[in-house]
Amino acid sequence: MKKVQRILAILGILFLLGLYLATFIFALLGKDFFPMFVASLFSSFALPVLIWIYGFIYKLLRKKDS
């Protein structure tokens, strides 16, 4: 289980770094890419929050079962 968690954590980090890089690139490209910049910016904030919520709910449900 620990190995799977470690792999998922590394994939999550790589995905977030990709989002941050995309946000930076869209910011540099100018007005034509503003909708993609906003979508990337929103995703870079929403994704970690959703991951935290899923983990929190998982821990609550797991405690209830045992």
pLDDT at residue 65 tops 70: no
Distance CA 28, CA 20 (A): 13
pTM comes to 0.74
| In contact, 33 and 26? CB cutoff 8 Å | yes
CA distances from 33 to 12, 22, 28, 44 (A): 25, 11, 9, 16
pLDDT, one tens digit per residue, over 4-31 is 878 888 988 999 999 999 999 999 998 8
Cβ-count burial 46-60 (b if 16+ within 10 Å, e if not):
eeeeeeeeeeeeeee
